[in-house]
Structure 1
Amino acid sequence: MNKTAYFHPALRIVHWLMAAAILAMLFIGVAMVSTVSSLHSVLVSIHKPLGVMILLLVIVRLWLRFTTATPALPVSLPAWQRAMAHLSHWALYLMMLAQPLIGWAMLSAAGYPITLGNGLVLPPIMPVNNDWYAILRPLHTWVALALFATVMLHLAAALLHALVLRDGVFSSMTGIRKP
């Protein structure tokens, strides 16, 4: 596959949409589990369709990632940093794909429907089962925490490349040419 200086525009759009959606989802999730007020049902009604949107976007993103040219990391980066960058990206993809599926399975195991509004209800992906719910509920939390930590590391690396190294890595995802 030919290399390029920038990620495909569609991939950049999906990246930034997902960044906003995932950050919103993480904060909504924290607020949702820490409140028992009437706000809880509003947060749940946002959380479910946002999770489905993230699932769909990560599928589109993976398709774009495999079908479009990607910029190479700078040769100035040590091999271990390039390896960590690739590992962290695949960890992000895995968690972005797994987290909504775990949530869907968890709600299915609990017997709760995934309602997306306008009467649209997703089918359960597993039978009602309290034992599975007891496993999936904390797993959903642990993956969320791991996702949050990995996103923060990703953000720190992006800022390092943008503000300190100025090596074109950040601009490859923004599409803004560095001066």
Structure 2
Amino acid sequence: MTGYRTPARLFHWIVALLVLATIPAGQIMIQDGLSRSVQNALFIFHKNVGVVILLVVLARLAYRQVVPPPPLPLSVPEWQRRVAGLTHAALYGLLIFMAVTGYLRVRAGGFPIEALDALGLPTFVPRSEALEAWAKAAHWWGRIALVAVIALHVAAAAWHGLVRRDGVMARIWPPVAR
């Protein structure tokens, strides 16, 4: 069975690790009782890692256009192929949605995104309480959808890697000495 090439694997695992870091940071940063310095550090981390996630996801999508993913093994039923395709599309769509709604929420609220500000990029979004409120709600609901789709993705990976042992998980697993 052929696996993903190294760049695709790197894109996958970089995004996975960054998302797994930003989700709890995003949840913790909005809790009551945090010191202002901890809350500020978490907000800065969450916003700027969100920018990195968006850039890596866009690079991965561009890479997929040039180097398509390897086909699933013939042992994978057609319905699972369809679910896998829909799940991957949902993951990409939700990751982009989260970055865009996060950006809109922050910029419409008049807050900085330090990495973009350091590059001298304009904000592109005027201050707007209505847009900020909409983006905040959309980002919150998007988080729930993203966590659900990630859970489905991880469950399917575990099913293929631990139960079926059909090589599907090995296609994306980091290439390490065995």
- The aligned counterpart of 1:142 is 141
- The aligned counterpart of 1:37 is 35
Structure 1: gaps spanning 5 or more residues: none
**Equivalent-residue separation in structure 1 for 2:23 and 2:97 (angstroms):** 14
Instruction: Determine helix, strand or coil for the equivalent of 2:172.
Output: helix
Alignment of 1:40-119 (within 5 A): 40-116=39-115, 119=118
1:28 equivalent in alignment to 2:25? yes
Aligned-pair identity in percent equals 35
**Equivalent-residue separation in structure 2 for 1:175 and 1:25 (angstroms):** 21
Match of 1:11 among 2, 8, 11: 8
CA RMSD after TM alignment = 2.0
Q: Which moved more, 1:144-153 or 1:168-177?
A: 168-177
Q: TM-score, normalised by structure 1?
A: 0.90
C-alpha displacement of 1:121:
5.4
CA, structure 1 residues 122+26, in 2 after alignment: closer, same or farther (shift >3 Å)?
farther
Q: Which moved more, 1:112-121 or 1:46-55?
A: 112-121
**Equivalent-residue separation in structure 2 for 1:23 and 1:94 (angstroms):** 17
Instruction: Determine helix, strand or coil for the equivalent of 1:112.
Output: coil
Paired residues in the alignment total 175
**Equivalent-residue separation in structure 2 for 1:172 and 1:25 (angstroms):** 25
- The aligned counterpart of 2:128 is 129
C-alpha displacement of 1:12:
0.2
Q: Deviations over 1:14-50 (max 9, x none)?
A: 1001100001000100001114423101101111110
**Equivalent-residue separation in structure 2 for 1:150 and 1:120 (angstroms):** 33
